[in-house]
């Protein structure tokens, strides 16, 4: 059965692209930009347009993997979800019993994991077990403090205002790859 669904881009960029996704028998067959969001107006980057290739690619890890050799050897074996989750829960229980929640330091940021790393489920889990707090990454708090000290904050403009500006300075980014709506 073929259907067309509305969705939103899962990548971590400010464009917030609206998507139209064609699905056939539960499998993505085509991804296009939707015109429902006027800022992006149907234009999406190549990364998202080819997201189906990423989802169904031959090298995608689709099952839990456990190291089956020395660290760095690249040797892993597939296991079932029950075994993987039991191992993780067991290791957490061991750490909590021996050292308490502060011995667990969750580090995340890079990636597009939606609710998993967007302040939803992840934060609830770490708070529940009393894990050591960290502001997203090892460098996020320092970057924010440095920017605030030098510039007085991390100011930002509404992306819709970019087209109204007489010019824009883009420093340390490649908008043709990561923010095509600024080009």
At residue 49, the 3 state secondary structure works out as helix
- Decide if 37 contacts 20 (C-beta within 8 A): no
With 60 as the cut, is the pLDDT of residue 35 above it? Answer: yes
- Decide if 3 contacts 23 (C-beta within 8 A): yes
With 60 as the cut, is the pLDDT of residue 166 above it? Answer: yes
pLDDT at 2: 93
Average pLDDT estimate for 133-160:
71
Q: How far apart are CA 113 and CA 120, in angstroms?
A: 11
- Decide if 25 contacts 3 (C-beta within 8 A): no
Q: Which tokens is 32 given?
A: 């296009």
Q: How far apart are CA 14 and CA 178, in angstroms?
A: 9
Q: Which tokens is 124 given?
A: 């609830």
Q: Where in the chain is the domain with CATH 3.30.200.210?
A: 1-59+155-183
- Tell me the whole-structure pTM to 2 decimals: 0.61
The string of pLDDT tens digits covering residues 45-97 is 888 899 899 889 998 999 999 999 999 999 999 999 999 999 999 999 999 99
The separation between the first and the last C-alpha atoms of the chain, rounded to the nearest angstrom, is 38
List the CATH code of the domain at 1-59+155-183.
3.30.200.210
């Amino acid at each position: 059965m073929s259907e067309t669904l509305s969705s939103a881009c899962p990548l971590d960029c400010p464009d917030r692209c609206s998507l139209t996704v064609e699905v056939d028998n539960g499998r993505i067959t085509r991804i296009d930009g939707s015109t429902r969001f006027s800022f992006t107006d149907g234009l999406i980057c190549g990364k998202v347009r080819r997201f189906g290739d990423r989802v169904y690619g031959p090298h995608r890890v689709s099952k839990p993997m456990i190291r089956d050799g020395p660290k760095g050897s690249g040797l892993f074996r597939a296991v079932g979800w029950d075994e993987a989750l039991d191992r993780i829960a067991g290791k957490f229980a061991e750490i909590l019993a021996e050292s308490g929640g502060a011995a667990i330091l969750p580090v995340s940021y890079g990636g597009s994991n939606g609710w998993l790393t967007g302040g939803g489920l992840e934060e609830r889990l770490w708070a529940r077990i009393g894990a050591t707090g960290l502001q997203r990454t090892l460098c996020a708090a320092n970057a924010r403090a440095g920017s605030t000290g030098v510039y007085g904050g991390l100011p930002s403009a509404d992306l819709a205002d970019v087209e109204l500006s007489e010019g824009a300075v883009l420093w340390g980014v490649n908008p043709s790859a990561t923010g095509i709506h600024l080009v």
